[in-house]
Amino acid sequence: MRFNRYSAAIAVAATIQTCAAQTYTDCNPTEATCDPDTGLATYRFSTDFTTGDSSFDGWNTTSGTVTSTDLGALFTISEQGDAPTIESEFYIFFGYVEVKMRAANGTGIVSTAILESDDLDEIDWEQVSTFNNEIQTNYFGKGNTTSYDRATTVTVDTPEDTFHTYGIEWTESATNWYVDGALVRTLNYADAVDGTNYPQTPMRIRIGIWAGGDPDNSEGTIEWAGGETDYTEGPFNMYVESVSIINYNPADTYTWTDQTGSYTSISAANGTSDGTTLSSSSESSSSTTSSSSSSSSTAVIPSTSEGSSTSTTGESSSNAGATATYGGCASASASTSSSACASTSDVVYSSTAPVGSSGWSSVVGGFSLIFLATIVTAMMQL
């Protein structure tokens, strides 16, 4: 871990600063009443950024200019203050995201692909250009930056000269980071302050670059970034060839039903009627305490969700059936190649259809999917 090389004081400064450029929220639902989040209503969303302007459909450029090129979306830092960034116009609520990218070179340039929620839950990939043989993983829960042990450094073969696929598999019980399909880190729910600081609320995908080595940054940040950026060596270019997203709980909206920031407080709904959302929410809480009507899933879930919060487990057998395929997709992707998941997507998508029509709230149905996905993944690792 990089932070071992530095004093705690510097590490704190760096930790706070590293997320600064792309970390923000317009409304924090743990402190205020916010509009519901716009969800990705489909199971999959994929972008090939080599295909021209239309490839930015579904993406919003929130800073600078990002263009489509033969190598993918081009993010450039030419001068001080440049920090081109795009974000998905939609949120996902647990899922799988992979970004195929070539990071920027130079000194102190940070290429990032992150997931971030309204209350500043965050899951990160960050490549610091000074070190062309590694990339960092990190996470935050509810914007808590007080610990020093969240980041890890992963060895990667020339990430600034070579496209690699960086994956994040995010479920209610664990988050896995993958490089080119190989698992490089697992964060369990219980490992993040007993779940309190586990990222667990609807996230947008945010991709961009910024100059950690900018001479105006704090000393700690510049040191973390491996030195001062010399803009005359630029321009510094990051390319993102493609992004593939799976939303484990497709929905039009995600409503925060209280200020806990807990995943059990999120209500997923389609359509605009209040009834849908409210009923979703109340079903969700009632089923938390009910015993499941279906056999096999209840038997298995408690043992593997150990450490997870209070959950949720009512489900129909049709949901369980959908799930098996689901987990298969996620782990296939992990163990083979980034495209493995894509090849099974049609099957998976159609099997999840019964979830919405089963009468259970999608929150509950989605969680059952995730539990089983986790089991399948765990079994495949044995």
Residues that bind ligand NAG (CB under 6 A): 41, 60, 62, 89, 105-106, 144, 146-147, 193, 196-197, 233, 250-251, 268-270, 355-356, 362
233 carries an active-site annotation: no
Identify the residue whose tokens are 């408690």. 302
Find the helix or strand (DSSP H, E) in which 77 lies: strand 72-77
Backbone angles phi, psi at 56, to 5 degrees: -85, 5
**β-pair partners for 120:** none
Identify the residue whose tokens are 């490549």. 127
Q: For residue 138, give the nearest of 217, 147, 256 by alpha carbon.
A: 147
Q: Give the residue with the Cβ less far from ligand NAG, 51 or 60.
A: 60
Token pair for 249:
């709980």
Q: How many CB atoms lie within 10 A of CB 181?
A: 18
Helix then strand then coil, % of the chain, to nearest 5: 30, 30, 40
Token pair for 285:
């809480």
Q: Least distance in Å: CB of 257 to ligand NAG?
A: 14
Q: Of these residues, 98, 126, 172, 223, which one is catalytic?
A: 126
Integer Cα distance of 286 and 278 in angstroms: 12
Integer Cα distance of 36 and 34 in angstroms: 6
Q: Least distance in Å: CB of 366 to ligand NAG?
A: 8
Q: Of these residues, 87, 122, 169, 315, which one is catalytic?
A: 122
Q: Least distance in Å: CB of 63 to ligand NAG?
A: 8
Q: Give the residue with the Cβ less far from ligand NAG, 147 or 294.
A: 147
Q: Give the residue with the Cβ less far from ligand NAG, 329 or 334.
A: 329
Q: Give the residue with the Cβ less far from ligand NAG, 188 or 196.
A: 196
Q: Least distance in Å: CB of 269 to ligand NAG?
A: 5
Identify the residue whose tokens are 């593939």. 244
Q: Least distance in Å: CB of 182 to ligand NAG?
A: 26
Task: Please answer whether residues 211 and 63 qualify as being in contact, where contact means their C-beta atoms are separated by less than 8 angstroms.
Answer: no
Q: Give the residue with the Cβ less far from ligand NAG, 17 or 334.
A: 17
Q: Give the residue with the Cβ less far from ligand NAG, 100 or 142.
A: 142
Identify the residue whose tokens are 């910024």. 210
Q: Give the residue with the Cβ less far from ligand NAG, 161 or 219.
A: 161
CA distance readout (Å), 132 to 5, 22, 105, 179, 195: 18, 22, 8, 15, 33
| Degrees, nearest 5: CA angle 110-337-343 | 120
Q: Least distance in Å: CB of 106 to ligand NAG?
A: 4
Q: Least distance in Å: CB of 272 to ligand NAG?
A: 12
116 carries an active-site annotation: no
Peptide bond just before 215 cis, omega within 30 deg: no
Integer Cα distance of 104 and 251 in angstroms: 35
| Cβ within 8 Å of residue 382, ≥6 positions away | none
| Active site residues per annotation | 122, 126
